[in-house]
Amino acid sequence: GSGSAWKEDLVLRPANCPHHALVYRARPHSYRELPVRLHELAPMFRAERSGVLSGLSRVRQINLDDTHVFCRPDQVAEEAAKALRSALKAQEILGLQVDYVRLSLRDSSPAYLGSAEQWRGAEEALRKAASEAGVEVVEAPGEAAFYGPKLDLQVVDPAGHEETISTVQVDFNQPERFDLSYDDADGSRKRVVMVHRGTVGSMERVTAAVLERYQGRLPLWLAPTQVAVLPVSPAQDPAARELAGALVAEGLRPRLDPDGSLGARIRESRRRREPLIAVIGSTEEEAGEVQVRDVGAGVERRVPVVDLVAAVKEAYVSRAASVKW
């Protein structure tokens, strides 16, 4: 609608949690169907002051990898352990170091919601989750959210600044506020437990971290273009197209660039931060080979075309940061 016909207020969403709570509440749930996991990769907005905005690390719109689990109290430890293992595995695949896992607890302040019994149960569940995931935690009283304890994956950047990149959070507040429940085995209505979990956190922040980790490049498996294919002259265009086609057939992402001087095309590939530059001249064409430059590793060599395709595919499938030559 437009003008006065538009009757609804529009807001910039600051969090996904209330919407997932409403989705859960939309119909009754039995104890037998729990846990219910709702996942969304969604934009959220924060009113950050201009003075604290910083590149991709601190922005006003973030796209958050956000999951909310609705479970019984006896399922909290298992769900938290799954979330912790998932987050640690994601950081390992991305090549990002987690310095330590923090168990954020409440202190003696009266500002926290929930009973002492709820907090003790949730804190013990998170300790058990960390133990089941094989992770030692550093306990930090006073670092919990007001609505529940949490496990935080902590990293320290080169400047010595510490930040949280992923969290597993137990929430007492929203199940109460939204009246979220389930039908238990005895027919009674019980309050559900809500667990917030993120695997990689915000896309902007993790992109910044990966670019920092790999000196401005993306690892080969993640790079939008994995191989720049450059024929030296038009006579090598068929061989270059054949190589590009072989890479595409294996699910890989080449870019064929046949036009312009070879030097200019190599400089353009370097500017685009493409992991591999594959050059095919008359000598390489006759031998069924390709001259490859692995820019990040500082490696340059001639390899058979079939070996190049196999090596790039292996690096891609195994999510390796670079090709093993």
Could you tell me the pLDDT band of residue 50, with boundaries at 50, 70 and 90?
A: confident
Structure tokens at 62: 């973030």
pLDDT value at residue 193: 94
One of 3.30.1330.20, 1.10.287.610, 3.40.50.800, 3.40.50.300 is the CATH number of 227-317, namely 3.40.50.800
The whole-number pLDDT of residue 147 equals 87
What pLDDT is recorded for position 79?
94
176-187 pLDDT, tens per residue?
Answer: 999 999 999 999
Give yes or no for residue 254 having a pLDDT over 80. Answer: yes
- Is the pLDDT at 157 greater than 80, yes or no? no
> What would the pLDDT profile of 15-32 be if each residue is shown by its tens digit?
888 999 999 999 999 999
Give residue 3's pLDDT: 54
Inform me whether the pLDDT recorded for 306 exceeds 60: yes
pLDDT in tens, 288-304: 999 999 998 899 999 99
Superfamily covering domain 10-213: Bira Bifunctional Protein; Domain 2 (3.30.930.10)
**What is the chain's mean pLDDT, rounded?**
91
Name the band, by pLDDT with cuts 50, 70 and 90, for residue 202: confident
| Res 1: pLDDT | 47
pLDDT of residue 165: 84
pTM assigned to the model: 0.82
Give kind and range of the element (H or E) at residue 40.
strand 36-45
293/240 Cα distance (integer angstroms): 15
Give the confidence band of 118 by pLDDT, cuts at 50, 70, 90.
Answer: confident
Beta bridge partners of 148: 145
CATH 3.40.50.800 in the chain is located at 227-317
Kind and range of the H or E run holding 153 = strand 150-156
Strand order in the sheet with 162-171: 36-45, 61-71, 193-197, 162-171, 150-156, 100-105, 137-141
Q: Where in the chain is the domain with CATH 3.30.930.10?
A: 10-213
